[in-house]
C-alpha cells in the first residue's frame, strides 16, 4: 500500500516522506534505493506541519544471500514509500517460525512473533509494566508456551495469579478473538504442580517443605534481622566446636545452649523465629528434582504469606535450585519471579534476604542453563544489577518518570523515541526489545487458559453503585480555589476520588449509646482520621488483623498503655508466663512489639482514642462532582476483622471516595491538595500512589 513520497534531504541511514496514506509511528515501510533494492525502514516520528504530514524513517536494511545489508547511496527524493508487507519484514528482521508464540506483530494481520527459548535461558527476561496493563497476563501466555515447548519453569507467585493455568479460558469476549491468533481454549492441569505453605494450603496443592539440614551460613542469611557481634560469635563458636557441616535448627540450638555466655539467651529466640515458620523438615521435603521436570510448571503460591517469610522461601528455593542446576542434577529451566522488586530491591530501598542469591543467578545463571525472568510494576525499585542482566525485555505501558529513567540507565538500546512510545502503549500491546536488533510492537495473543489476575467486572461495580453502597465526599475546594494555593503555575490539574471504607458504628458507653465513624484506607487497610486538617493513617494496624485472640490482646494492651513489664502484662491480661513468652516472641518477630530494656512496647502507630475522637465529620453523599474514581485494592473482607477489634453493636458499611486535587506544576513537580480541607497532602506522594495516576487529563 502506497503511503507517501520521499522529500527533502536524505542519507543511506534515514529519510523523510510526505504522508499520503495511513501510517503510524513504529510501523515498517519499504522503498527502493538507487540500486533497486527494496529497503526496509521504520517510522521514528510523525509530525503535522501546516498542510503536510511528515514522517521520519530510520533505515533497517535489505536482505540478500549474505544477510542484511545497509544501502550505501542516499535515497532519491520523490521515490515512493510503501507500507512493508509481512514477507519483507520477516525476511529482513530474521523473525523465526517457531519458539514461544506471544502474539502478532502490531500493524500486521498474520505475522506471528516467537521468542527464542534458548535466548531466554542464556540472556534472561524482564517483563515491565505499570499495574493493570497486562504483565501477569503476558507471563501467563509465556507459561502456556513453556508447557507447549516442554520447558520447565518454577514460578514465585506472591498473589496466587497463576493457579488458573489449570483451567481452559471460558470468557466469551476473549474466545471470539482466538481465531485471529489461531488458538483455542485449553487447560494444563496435568502440567501444573502447585506448592503452598500450611497457612495457605489449597485443594490439589502440595505442602511446601524445604530441606531442614542447613549450613550455618544459610541460617545466618535467613535471619530476619542482623545479629550483634556477640550473638554471631556464639553461633560461630557452636558450629566450629561441633565440626558439622549442616544442622537442623534444633541441633544448632542445642550447640548454642552449651555456650556459657548469657548472650546465648538472645540467640535462642532468633533460631526459634526461623523454626516457627514451619518451612523446614528433615523428612518429606520438596527437592529441586521435584520442582524441575520436563514439560512441568511448578507454582510456588505465596498468597497471604508474610513478606519476610516470602523472602525466606525465595532465598532457599533459589539457592537450592541454582546449586542443583550447576551440579546438572536438574534440566535447564526458567526461574520466574513475580513482584521481583520485593525480592531483589534496589539497594536504596533496602536489602531483602533473597537479594544476594538473585543477583548471583542474574550474573551467573546463564552459564549453567538457569534462565531468570523478573516481573515488576516498579522498575525503579528493582536491583539495577539484576535488571541490566536481563537482555531481553518486554515492556507494556510505563509512565512513571523514575521507572523510565531506571530502564534507560539499565537497559541497552532504549532511545528517547522508544521511551515515548512505551508511555502510550495500549492495553494488550507489548514492546519486545532484545529478541532482534529492532524493538518489536506485538499484539499479545489471547490466553488459552483462564486468567487469574482479572479485575472485578464492571457489571459488579455498577450493581454496587445502584444499590447505594457507594458514597462521595463533595469537595469544598474547587479548581479556581486550588489555583490560588499552588506554589507555582499549574500546567495540568486533575480531581481524583481516593477510596475509603466508611463504617458507621454504635458503641455502648456508661452514658448510653454513642455513634462514631471509622474510616479505612481502601488502598492499604490502615485506619484514617483527621489531624490538624490533614488526613492521617495508622501505621501497622493491618498487622493486628491476622493475630489470634490472645496475641491481639497483648498487642492492643501495649498499644494503649505504653511500655509495660512482663509481669504486669501477665497479671492484667491473665495469661500464663510460659504462654505469654511465646506470644511476645511471636509479636517481636512480626515487628509488632519491641523491647526497651526490661519493658515491652508497641511498635504500631495506632492510638485508638485519637482515631475515634478525630474522625472525618463530613457526611458523604450519593452523588459526586466530576473526577476520576480510584478503585480500592483492599477487599471488603477486611471489614469484619476491623470490627472485631472495636466490637460495636450496629454498623452501616459503605464504600466512600475522598477528593484530592493532583497538580502538575510548571517545573514538573507534583502537588496534592485535599479537596475538603485545602491542605497540601504529602502522604499520597510518599507512597508512590501518584506514580500510577494518569496526569494527562
Domain CATH number, residue 197:
3.40.50.300
**Statement to judge: residues 74 and 191 lie in one domain:** no
Question: Which residue do the cell numbers 528455593 mark?
Answer: 317
Q: What was the pLDDT predicted at 627?
A: 81
Domain boundary among 265, 280, 295: 280
Number of helices and strands in the chain (H, E):
24, 32
Q: Which helix (H) or strand (E) holds 180?
A: helix 178-181
User: Is the residue at 11 inside a domain?
Assistant: yes
Across all residues in the chain, what is the average pLDDT?
87
Tens of pLDDT, residues 659-677 = 999 998 888 888 999 988 8
Q: What was the pLDDT predicted at 464?
A: 41
**Statement to judge: residues 338 and 360 lie in one domain:** yes
Task: Give CA separation, 287 vs 218, 291, 621, in Å.
Answer: 17, 7, 57
**Statement to judge: residues 617 and 490 lie in one domain:** yes
User: Is the residue at 450 inside a domain?
Assistant: no
First to last CA, the chain: 36
Furthest-apart CA atoms within the chain: distance in Å: 97
Q: Average the pLDDT over 12-30 and give the result.
A: 91
Closest CA to 554 of 502, 600, 612: 600
Residues, the chain, total?
A: 697
Contact of 374 with 126, CB cutoff 8 Å = yes
Give how far the C-alpha of residue 384 lies from the chain's centroid of Cα atoms, to the nearest Å: 16
**Statement to judge: residues 344 and 429 lie in one domain:** yes
Give the separation between CA 613 and CA 603, rounded to whole angstroms: 22
Mean pLDDT highest for which of 158-162, 318-322, 620-624, 653-657? Answer: 318-322
Task: Give CA separation, 127 vs 13, 65, 215, 432, in Å.
Answer: 31, 35, 34, 9
**Statement to judge: residues 522 and 660 lie in one domain:** yes
Domain boundary among 563, 579, 602: 602
**Statement to judge: residues 138 and 188 lie in one domain:** yes
**Statement to judge: residues 321 and 464 lie in one domain:** no
**pLDDT band per the 50, 70, 90 thresholds, residue 411:** low
Q: Average the pLDDT over 55-84 and give the result.
A: 93
∠ CA(16), CA(20), CA(24), 5° rounding? 70
**Statement to judge: residues 564 and 642 lie in one domain:** no
Q: Crossing angle for the helix pair 577-589 and 264-275, nearest 10 degrees?
A: 70
Domain boundary among 93, 114, 138: 93
Q: Average the pLDDT over 278-292 and give the result.
A: 91
User: Is the residue at 453 inside a domain?
Assistant: no
Q: Crossing angle for the helix pair 416-423 and 401-410, nearest 10 degrees?
A: 140
**Statement to judge: residues 275 and 386 lie in one domain:** no
**Statement to judge: residues 88 and 230 lie in one domain:** no
Contact of 666 with 488, CB cutoff 8 Å = yes
Domain count, the chain: 5
Give the separation between CA 417 and CA 430, rounded to whole angstroms: 15
Question: Which residue do the cell numbers 459503605 mark?
Answer: 654
Question: Which residue do the cell numbers 516520528 mark?
Answer: 45
Q: Is the pLDDT of residue 534 over 70?
A: yes
Judged by phi (left if over 0) then psi (alpha if -120 to 50, else beta), residue 318 lies in alpha
User: Is the residue at 697 inside a domain?
Assistant: no
**Statement to judge: residues 525 and 640 lie in one domain:** yes
User: Is the residue at 379 inside a domain?
Assistant: yes
User: Is the residue at 578 inside a domain?
Assistant: yes
Contact of 668 with 492, CB cutoff 8 Å = no
**pLDDT band per the 50, 70, 90 thresholds, residue 248:** confident
Task: Give CA separation, 491 vs 172, 228, 696, in Å.
Answer: 43, 52, 10
User: Is the residue at 452 inside a domain?
Assistant: no
Q: What was the pLDDT predicted at 466?
A: 38
Q: Which residue has the higher pLDDT, 126 or 651?
A: 126
**pLDDT band per the 50, 70, 90 thresholds, residue 412:** low
Task: Give CA separation, 134 vs 140, 285, 292, 345, 609, in Å.
Answer: 10, 35, 27, 22, 43
Judged by phi (left if over 0) then psi (alpha if -120 to 50, else beta), residue 413 lies in left
Q: What is the grid cell recorded at 694? A: 494518569
Tens of pLDDT, residues 442-490 = 999 999 999 886 443 333 333 344 345 788 888 888 787 788 888 888 8
User: Is the residue at 451 inside a domain?
Assistant: no
Q: Which residues of 304-323 are buried (b: 16+ CB within 10 A; e: fewer)?
A: ebeebbbbbbbbbbbbbbbe
The number of beta carbons lying within 10 Å of the beta carbon of residue 186 is: 15
Give the separation between CA 196 and CA 168, rounded to whole angstroms: 22
Which CATH number do you get for residue 592? 1.10.10.10
Tens of pLDDT, residues 549-562 = 899 999 999 998 88
**Statement to judge: residues 317 and 411 lie in one domain:** yes
Can you spell out the DSSP letters for 270-283? HHHHHHTT--EESS
Task: Give CA separation, 358 vs 68, 311, 318, 409, 628, in Å.
Answer: 37, 11, 7, 20, 39
Which CATH number do you get for residue 49? 2.40.10
**Which structural domain, as residue segments, surrounds residue 649?**
458-539+605-692
Amino acid at each position: 500500500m502506497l503511503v507517501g513520497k520521499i522529500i527533502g534531504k536524505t542519507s543511506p541511514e534515514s529519510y523523510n516522506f510526505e504522508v499520503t496514506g495511513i501510517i503510524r509511528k513504529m510501523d515498517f515501510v519499504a522503498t527502493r534505493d538507487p540500486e533497486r533494492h527494496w529497503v526496509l525502514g521504520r517510522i521514528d516520528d510523525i509530525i503535522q506541519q501546516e498542510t503536510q504530514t511528515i514522517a521520519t524513517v530510520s533505515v533497517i536494511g535489505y536482505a540478500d544471500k549474505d544477510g542484511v545489508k545497509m544501502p550505501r547511496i542516499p535515497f532519491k527524493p520523490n521515490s515512493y514509500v510503501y507500507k512493508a508487507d509481512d514477507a519483507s519484514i520477516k525476511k529482513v528482521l530474521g523473525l523465526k517460525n517457531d519458539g514461544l508464540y506471544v502474539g502478532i506483530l502490531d500493524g500486521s494481520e498474520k505475522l506471528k512473533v516467537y521468542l527464542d527459548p534458548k535466548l531466554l535461558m542464556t540472556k534472561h527476561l524482564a517483563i515491565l509494566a505499570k499495574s493493570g496493563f497486562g504483565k501477569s497476563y503476558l507471563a501467563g501466555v509465556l507459561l502456556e508456551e513453556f508447557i507447549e515447548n516442554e520447558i520447565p519453569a518454577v514460578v514465585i507467585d506472591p498473589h496466587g495469579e497463576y493457579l488458573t493455568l489449570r483451567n481452559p479460558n471460558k470468557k466469551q469476549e476473549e474466545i471470539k478473538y482466538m481465531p485471529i491468533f489461531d488458538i483455542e481454549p485449553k487447560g494444563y492441569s496435568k502440567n501444573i504442580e502447585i506448592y503452598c505453605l500450611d497457612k495457605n494450603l489449597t485443594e490439589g496443592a502440595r505442602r511446601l517443605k524445604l530441606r531442614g539440614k542447613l549450613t550455618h551460613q544459610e541460617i545466618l542469611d535467613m535471619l530476619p534481622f542482623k545479629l550483634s557481634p556477640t550473638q554471631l560469635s556464639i553461633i560461630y563458636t557452636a558450629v566450629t566446636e561441633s565440626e558439622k557441616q549442616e544442622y537442623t535448627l534444633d541441633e544448632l540450638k542445642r550447640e548454642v545452649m552449651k555456650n556459657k555466655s548469657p548472650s546465648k539467651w538472645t540467640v535462642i529466640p532468633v533460631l526459634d523465629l526461623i523454626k516457627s515458620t514451619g518451612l523446614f523438615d528433615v523428612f518429606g521435603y520438596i527437592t529441586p528434582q521435584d520442582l524441575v521436570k520436563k514439560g512441568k510448571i511448578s507454582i510456588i503460591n505465596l498468597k497471604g504469606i508474610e513478606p519476610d517469610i516470602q523472602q525466606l522461601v525465595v532465598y532457599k528455593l533459589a539457592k537450592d535450585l541454582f546449586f542443583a542446576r550447576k551440579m546438572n542434577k536438574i534440566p535447564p529451566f526458567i526461574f520466574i519471579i513475580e513482584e521481583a522488586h520485593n525480592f531483589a530491591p534496589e539497594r536504596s530501598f533496602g536489602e531483602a534476604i533473597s537479594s544476594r542469591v538473585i543477583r548471583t543467578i542474574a550474573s551467573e545463571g546463564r552459564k549453567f542453563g538457569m534462565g531468570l525472568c523478573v516481573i515488576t510494576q516498579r522498575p525503579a525499585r528493582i536491583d539495577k544489577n539484576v535488571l541490566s542482566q536481563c537482555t531481553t525485555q518486554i515492556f507494556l505501558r510505563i509512565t512513571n518518570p523514575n521507572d523510565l529513567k531506571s530502564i534507560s540507565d539499565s537497559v541497552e538500546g532504549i532511545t528517547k523515541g522508544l521511551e515515548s512510545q512505551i508511555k502510550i502503549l495500549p492495553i494488550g500491546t507489548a514492546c519486545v526489545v532484545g529478541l532482534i536488533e529492532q524493538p518489536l510492537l506485538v499484539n499479545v495473543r489471547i490466553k488459552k487458559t483462564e486468567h487469574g489476575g482479572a479485575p472485578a467486572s464492571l457489571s459488579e461495580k455498577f450493581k454496587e453503585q445502584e444499590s447505594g453502597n457507594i458514597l462521595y465526599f463533595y469537595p469544598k475546594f474547587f479548581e479556581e480555589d486550588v489555583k490560588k494555593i499552588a506554589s507555582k503555575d499549574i500546567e495540568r490539574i486533575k480531581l481524583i476520588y481516593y477510596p475509603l471504607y466508611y463504617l458507621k458504628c454504635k458503641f455502648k458507653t456508661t452514658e448510653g449509646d454513642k455513634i462514631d465513624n471509622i474510616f479505612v484506607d481502601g488502598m492499604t487497610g490502615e485506619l484514617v482520621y483527621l489531624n490538624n486538617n490533614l488526613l492521617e493513617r495508622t501505621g501497622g494496624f493491618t498487622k493486628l488483623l491476622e493475630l489470634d485472640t490472645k496475641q491481639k490482646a497483648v498487642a492492643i494492651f501495649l498499644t494503649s498503655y505504653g511500655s509495660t513489664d512482663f509481669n504486669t502484662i501477665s497479671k492484667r491480661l491473665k495469661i500464663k508466663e510460659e504462654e505469654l513468652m511465646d506470644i511476645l516472641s511471636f509479636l517481636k518477630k512480626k515487628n509488632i512489639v519491641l523491647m526497651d530494656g526490661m519493658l515491652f512496647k508497641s511498635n504500631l502507630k495506632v492510638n485508638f482514642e485519637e482515631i475515634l475522637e478525630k474522625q472525618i465529620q463530613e457526611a458523604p453523599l450519593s452523588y459526586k462532582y466530576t473526577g476520576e474514581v480510584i478503585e480500592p485494592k483492599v477487599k471488603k473482607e477486611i471489614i469484619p476483622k476491623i470490627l472485631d477489634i472495636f466490637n460495636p453493636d450496629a454498623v452501616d458499611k459503605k464504600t466512600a471516595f475522598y477528593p484530592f486535587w493532583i497538580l502538575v506544576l510548571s517545573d514538573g513537580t507534583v502537588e496534592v491538595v485535599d479537596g475538603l480541607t485545602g491542605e497540601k497532602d504529602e502522604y499520597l506522594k510518599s507512597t508512590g500512589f501518584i506514580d500510577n495516576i494518569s496526569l494527562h487529563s
